[in-house]
Chain A
Amino acid sequence: MSPRSHADLSPHDAERIAAELAALGEPELEADELASLTDEADTDLAFVEGLREFAEPLAPRVELEALASRRVWSRVRSRVPGARGAGFIAGGVLLAAAAALLVLVLRPDGSDSGEAREAALALRAQAHAGLEALGVDTKPGADAARVRGWLGRSGEGDRG
């Protein structure tokens, strides 16, 4: 799976998305929303690519779901000073992954092994990107450090 660049969004794609939004009564794409469909951090690019492969027959719907998630997070970001950057990317990736999950659950023919393979391939990218966005460190030393942290806090009765 290779990341896409902004230039990969053809005029045809842009026109198709605009037409679908108009049909749904949604406002036109803002310039930054258009850019966000392709021109984001690597994790987002990997997600978009994975989502396209996963939901080939449902491509227009999935793209709109990703766009809806993007818009929600744009609103969230505007309400939280300093919440841009990693937090935004993490939230976007996870929300978009949840949208992909919804598509998986709703697919009636998910029992077919070919479908399961496609779903596994796409969800694998989401899951790994999600772990990275959460900051889960699996390098040597990281697990010991976490347990050391638990031991340091184990008498405080904290939560979370």
Chain B
Amino acid sequence: MSRGLARVRTWAATVSVACLGVLAAGCEDSRPAGPDARIELYSPVLAAEDGAREAERAYLGEILRAHEQADAALAAGDEASARARLAEALAHPVAAGDRAAIVRLDLAARYGELQTPDADGASETIRMLEPLLAIDQALPIDSATARALVVLGDAASRVDDHALAAGSYARSVRVMSKLRSLEAERLGLGDADAKEGAR
């Protein structure tokens, strides 16, 4: 009787430890432990396909109007209207093409810049920007990407999410380093110098 009870206890303990292990592994997978500075970048191709060109131009025109109206609202001291106009433009379906993607990142960054001084606005900025700048999302090598990542970092700092803030700032620095490296190539500087400096 006592030997059987001991076996049951041993079996139960083994199962419990296994379950805890599975749970711990699950938690580890779903919650990053610290700053995540990974980023996947691509060189934007700014020559639109013929079929997409008109749709992309239309999208850019819509975003241009939104920026102009937001500028006018800000000049009149009406920041709420500026935010509302930018939010409306963000809800507009983005056209295909790298120009459109870059313009949308700038638009999202500008909206976030207006929102972030307020804690609630900072949380909203994180909800908006995180999917656009997700780790598994390839991002264009452009200043708009760096700017949007900085805005995400600022918003995360505002709500004391320091891991997200550090990761976002680090990712923005990587974008800017890549931009600098491309600029050095355009200037005809040796790639070895750029690589040496980046180490």
Residues of A whose CB lies within 8 Å of any CB of B are 68-69, 72-73, 75-76, 79-80, 83, 90-91, 94-95, 97-102, 104-105, 110-113, 115-117, 119-120, 123-124, 126-128, 130-131, 133-134, 136, 138, 140-141, 143-144, 146-148, 150-151, 153-155, 157-160
Contact = CB atoms under 8 A, between A and B. Distances in A.
B198 A95 contact: yes
A154 B48 contact: yes
Interface in B52-94: 53, 56-57, 60-61, 63-64, 67-68, 70-71, 74-75
Contacts, number: 172
A72 to B, nearest CB: 4
A160 B1 CA distance: 79
A8 B183 CA distance: 34
Interface string B187-199: 1010001001111
Interface majority SS (helix, strand, loop, mixed), chain B: helix
Contacts of B48: 154, 157
A118 to B, nearest CB: 8
Contacts of B133: none
Contacts of B184: 76, 91
A76 to B, nearest CB: 5
Contacts of A83: 187
Given A80-B189, A113-B162, A123-B169, 11 more contacts: A73-B197, A79-B193, A91-B197, A94-B173, A94-B177, A97-B177, A116-B34, A127-B146, A127-B149, A130-B172, A131-B147
Contact of B180 (A91, A112, A113): A91
B60 A154 contact: yes
Nearest to A123: B169
B179 interface: yes
A43 B150 CA distance: 16
B106 A143 contact: yes
Contacts of B174: 98, 101
B63 A116 contact: no
B172 A127 contact: yes
B166 interface: yes
Given A120-B153, A123-B170, A147-B103, A76 B60 contact: no
Contact of B60 (A69, A99, A119, A147): A147
10 contacts: A68-B199, A72-B196, A97-B173, A99-B199, A140-B70, A143-B110, A146-B103, A150-B103, A155-B53, A159-B44
